[in-house]
Structures are given as C-alpha cells and as structure tokens.
Structure 1
Amino acid sequence: MTISAEESFLQANLSSSYIYFPEIAALAAVDLINKNPSILPGITITVKRFSDCGPWYPAALETYFGASGGWAASLMFQDIYENNPDVIGVIGNEYSTTTLAIAEELSLVEIPYCSATSASPRLSDKKKYPYFWRTITALGIGDHICQVLLTWNVQRVAIIYQRDDDMGAQS
C-alpha cells in the first residue's frame, strides 16, 4: 500500500493530526455558517491563521512538543491585536503551555478565545482568563457553551463527539 504525502502528514501519533482535525472541524463550521443566511444574516466569517512558533517546517512534526509560549505567544498576540483589528475572536489549538499566555493577553483586550484541546486546570480561572473557553467535554464546560449560545440567540445546535479516548469516555 502506498501512502500519499497528505496521508503521511496526518499520522495520528504526530502533532500534525492534533492540529489538523480540530482545524478541519472549525473550517467546516465556518463554511456551514457562511452558506446558511439564517445563522448570521449579512455576515461572512473569514479565517486568518496565526502561529505561535514561527513559520512551519517539516521537522516540527517530530520535534514540536508544546513548549512555545511566553515570548512567541506575545508576538502572536501583538500580530493579532495591532495588525489585525478586524479579528473579533480566536479559535486556537495549542498545548496548554502556549494557551496560558495567549489566553491571558486576549482576555485583557476582550477578544474571545476558544481552544479545542488545552486542558490545564489553570485555564479555569475566570478572573485571569475571562474571555477563554474550551470545547473539551470532560471538563464540565457545558455552562460556558450554553452561555455563548444564549448570548448569540442560537436556536438549534448539533453536537458531535467520540467516546474512544480517556477524555471522551468521561462524558
């Protein structure tokens, strides 16, 4: 069996799949929202990409372990806040070590930030991270998601989940 470059890029044990699959879900959601005029009438969502570890390089697949943060996150924040004033929300998929810095900075300027994978309990401190929320079901964040949906006056919701890992088995 021959594996294509795309398939080899998405090996489940590498950081690439950790980043790729939540991004595909976010892009699919944006596409569905933009195609349905009854969800956000007259609004088109655009996606911009920012990096907390510089430009992508192939060796990152084997060597990146989530240790960026601090200075790199501050540079990313500066790029978002100073150079992209049209950004009104951020969906991130960093390790918790990186999320801690960017979540605090984005909260200071009241830009909502959602992470698909950051599980550090420190991120639950709403005094320090009031604009941060996450979609990890086992953390009991249903109240946060419910509040966002109520604020946006969302009438219908679909939930997709899996139960084949430690986090999913707890939900």
Structure 2
Amino acid sequence: MTCINAGHSSRKRVSDRIRAEAIPGRIRNHQHEAKLMKVRDVMHKGATFVSAETRVDVIARQMRDADVGALPVKSDGHLVGIVTDRDIACRALADGKDPQTMTATDVMTTRVACCAPDDDLALAIKIMENKRVRRLPVIDADQKLIGMVSLGDISHKVGAGLSGEVLRAVSAHHR
C-alpha cells in the first residue's frame, strides 16, 4: 500500500512540502481558520475498518449500518487500502461481478491519500482538494491507522465559508 501525501515515508512533513501559494485564492482567504487547528482536533478516532479478506457484500452492509461512504482496509494493524461506495459500484456491481465472492482486495484503492494527526487542518484540506477525495485516513508515524477525517468533520469544526469552498474544490470535477 502506498500512502500518498502522508509524509511519513520520507520522514519530511507534507506541510513542509506544500506551499500556501498553491492553494486556490478562495480557500486561501479562509486558510487562517484551518491553520489554527490540527487534524487530531477534527478526526474521528478509532475508525471502523475491514480486513483485506472481508467480502464486498459484508463491506457494503457495514457502510450502510455505520452510515459511511468509505472503510479503511487494515492488515496487521497497518493501512493497506480503502474501499469506497464508488469502488464497490464501479469495480464490482457495474461489471456484473458477485459481491459475495469478491473481497476488499478485489475492489480497494491501494494508493490512499492520508494525513497525520499533527498535520495542520489546512494541509488535510489541501490533500482532499488535490486528490478530489472527501475522506482521509489518519495514520501515525508507523503507518498505523488511528482514525479518519472527512469533509463533514471539517464542516462541523470550521466556518461555513471554508467548508463551502473546500466542498466546491473537491467536487470541481463533477461540474
């Protein structure tokens, strides 16, 4: 599994590599709101997860029951991928495959955009915008999953102006 943008693989913090001038103007105008907070202030700790061997139909029921659109995939305590509702729809159902015979390994995304608990919230927002994702697994320095942060979590903690701009940026490819 490759955790892109996590910063832990190179031991150099991602926030050191992303410059403020790369942030679009509308979001930059609200950036001070997010710079004052850390991911740990917003994230859900101890996220629900599945194993790589979990069947796709079971994953879909877990998503429904937990009212979430993505579940991280763990192996030996480490994040190895993520399964989204879109992964299930596009990689299983749309192709006519049987979700009772497929596992997380068959549909999961392995190049997962992640963040760390001590990252500035502004960095997590930037990663979401760049990767066009609405959720990020939060991993520690040992690449262990410790939680999740979503656009919904962010919108509950920051001002309406920033959360609206982030949603627009993440959803830009749907226009």
The TM-score range, normalised by the shorter chain, is under 0.3
What is the TM-score of this pair, normalised by structure 1? Answer: 0.26
Find the structure with the greater CA-based Rg.
1
Structure with more strand by fraction:
2
What is the TM-score of this pair, normalised by structure 2? Answer: 0.25
